[in-house]
Amino acid sequence: MKVAVIVFPGSNCDRDMYHVLTDVFDLDAQYFWHEKGLPKNIDAVILPGGFSYGDRLRAGVIAAHSPIIKDVQKMSEKGIPVLGVCNGFQILVESGLLPGVLLKNESLNFMCEWTDLVVENNKTPFTNQFKKNEKIPIPIANGEGRYFADDDTLKHLKKNNQIVFRYGNSVNGSSNQIAGVCNEDGNVVGMMPHPERAVESEINPKDSKPSSLIFESLLTEMGVGN
């Protein structure tokens, strides 16, 4: 199976994600530059973090108009798993593949710290190995990470089980402490925290197992898991 890692001008977690996919989980991953199209044999798509276009105008908004996004959308409609992390989440939201927006953090500062996530929806391709309410120690690193949606959207998200992750406590002022959501079909997931920074025990001061389950979920989804 093949995982596409999309690279935009200014992406800066692409190499970290690639390392985790290939060296830690032994997956076949390939970079795709934003101007390219995606071939048909792609089994999953990951939009990594970074500062695409230097966060100009608004985080993710310019990258959302990249040629490759059309292909990502087509693949998502076919039910192929798509994960956006941090700036990747912002891009998915800006391109309309996920609901809501990401605003400046309540502190108005960039925040880099470890926090706890709570799994709300364990039915997505990236969470199927979790128990509901399981905790994930994981780092965040963003300036515009405050998830916001209006009340109707939030109601809709709850009803459709589209809230995937919540923060264990109020980290940045997100609506309902939301840290990650999915589309109605559940195959497109966006999250602000960085799982690729938490799956190796060497750099994870807490517990690397829970974050690993995000990638193991994908392996299971693809039928290559254990």
The stretch near another protein (CB under 8 A) out of 72-80, 107-115, 148-156, 167-175 is: 107-115
Q: Which residues contact 35 (CB under 8 A, 6 or more apart)?
A: 66, 67, 68
- Taking the complex as a whole, the smallest distance from the CB of residue 196 to another protein amounts, in Å, to 7
CB of 174 to another protein, least distance (A): 17
Using a 10 angstrom Cβ sphere, with 0-12 exposed, 13-18 middle and 19 or more buried, the burial of residue 103 is middle
Task: Report the residue from 60, 84, 99, 139 that binds another protein according to the rule CB under 8 A.
Answer: 139
Strand partners, 31: 5
Q: Closest approach of Cβ 53 to another protein, in Å? A: 7
- Annotated active-site residue in 13, 86, 120, 216: 86
Strand order in the sheet with 163-167: 28-33, 2-7, 44-47, 82-85, 188-191, 178-182, 163-167, 111-119, 135-142
DSSP 8-state secondary structure symbol assigned to residue 24:
I
Establish if 200 lies at the interface with another protein (CB under 8 A).
yes
Residue 143 contacts another protein per CB under 8 A: yes
Of residues 140, 137, 162, 121, the one with CA closest to residue 212: 137
166 part of the interface to another protein, by CB under 8 A:
no
Q: How many chain residues bind another protein (CB under 8 A)?
A: 31
Candidates 94, 120, 144, 196; catalytic one: 196
Helical (H) or strand (E) element with 219: helix 209-221
Q: Residue 167 interacts with another protein (CB under 8 A)?
A: no
Let me know if 156 is a catalytic residue.
Answer: no
Nearest to 192 by CA among 132, 102, 127, 123: 102
Catalytic residues: 86, 194, 196
Residues lying near another protein in the complex (CB under 8 A):
9-10, 12-13, 15-16, 19-20, 33, 49-51, 53-56, 109-113, 139, 141, 143, 194, 196-197, 200, 202-203, 205
